[in-house]
Amino acid sequence: MGLFFLGCALLGLGLWLRVMWREAAIRRRFPPVGRIVAVGGRRVHAMTLGAGPDLVMIHGSSGQLRDLLPLMTRLAGRFRVTAFDRPGLGFSDAIGAEGVSPAGQARHLAMAAAELGITRPLVLGQSYGGTVALAWGLEVTGAQAARGLVLISTPSQPWVAKLDWWYQLTATRLGRALAVPLAAALVTDAYIEKMMPGLFAPSAPPEGYSARIGAILALPPGALGVNADQVNGLLPHVLAMQSEYARLTLPVEMVHGAHDPIVPMELHSGPLAALLPQARLTVLEDAGHMPHHTHLEAVEEAVLRAMAA
């Protein structure tokens, strides 16, 4: 029995060392590309390109600001574009229980925006980041209040379908305790690459997408755990936000792929467009969940319309 417990302890130590070594290696391979802003003693990683009216961009789940670089580059000629790593992801510190709420994340990022001198931004969010953008529109007032929203593939309505197996597993204390360190230690670049076609379908992923945007930055255990908490905790916040959407009077542009299997357009952006008379919904008939990569021109046009409005 003693040898069994010794073996378990050595296995656990080896796994812990592997996770720590791997996290350090990932962060050396994909270092911060922007600057670090301090908000309440917590770090927020932000990157700014271009000059002009302020445009804030917020990435989706399991992501970080590198995913927005192609869109940032495209729009930097017309805007001062600032993208953030959401709390607990990329190189931004977690903010505890407040970080499970899109509203809490929006308030935190708005304080980072204030530190950067951002005023009256147009706020764009993709997927989960779009829900944070909606919360920004509802929650943030004063100089950092949004002048308009651009929502890409955004969850905005309650759903009844179960989340995928990873989130079901990490929703339990035991499942999370086992799954997070194992994934952090063992998931490879090749496995992440195999997941990309499902994320982009029916389009093909851009050549070299995973390596270029540092998709493996989702694997440190802190990021895996925070992301699981945020996604598993999203539904009650969406339920609470739903009754508040009528307060939104600012311009809202939505871009959604008709074949999005992750955030179905007919369950989210379609009903939201019906609730907001000032909103405009662009449905991309040949797109999935990632139009900010596969349909850059359509997203750019939505941003320009929102700014003009």
Say yes or no to pLDDT of 8 above 70: no
Q: What is the mean pLDDT of the chain?
A: 94
Percentage of the chain lying above the pLDDT 70 cut: 95
* 267 exposure class (CB count in 10 Å sphere: 0-12, 13-18, 19+): middle
* Mean pLDDT to the nearest integer, 291-300: 97
How far apart are alpha carbons 18 and 187 in whole angstroms? 12
* Mean pLDDT to the nearest integer, 269-294: 96
* Mean pLDDT to the nearest integer, 169-189: 92
Residue 221 CA, distance from chain mean position: 17
Domain region containing 71: 2-308
**Cα dihedral sign, 247-80-293-185:** negative
Nearest to 224 by CA among 232, 213, 234: 232
* Mean pLDDT to the nearest integer, 264-282: 96
How far apart are alpha carbons 301 and 92 in whole angstroms? 30
How far apart are alpha carbons 139 and 105 in whole angstroms? 10
Q: What is the pTM of this model?
A: 0.95
Structure tokens that stand for 245 in this block: 């959407």
Say yes or no to pLDDT of 297 above 80: yes
Say yes or no to pLDDT of 5 above 60: no
How far apart are alpha carbons 63 and 221 in whole angstroms? 14
* Mean pLDDT to the nearest integer, 40-59: 97
3-class SS string, 186-223: HCCHHHHHHHHHHHHCCCCCCCCHHHHHCHHHHCCHHH
CATH number of the domain at 221, please: 3.40.50.1820
Residue 12: which pLDDT band, with cuts at 50, 70 and 90?
A: low
* Mean pLDDT to the nearest integer, 110-117: 98
How far apart are alpha carbons 66 and 222 in whole angstroms? 18
Structure confidence at residue 253 (pLDDT)? 98
pLDDT digits (tens, 9 = 90+) for 203-252: 999 988 999 999 999 999 999 999 999 999 999 999 999 999 999 999 99
According to DSSP H, which parts of 140-188 are helical? 165-170, 173-186
pLDDT digits (tens, 9 = 90+) for 77-106: 999 999 999 999 999 999 999 999 999 999
* SS3 category, 228: helix
If one counts the domains in the chain, the total is 1
Residue 3: which pLDDT band, with cuts at 50, 70 and 90?
A: low
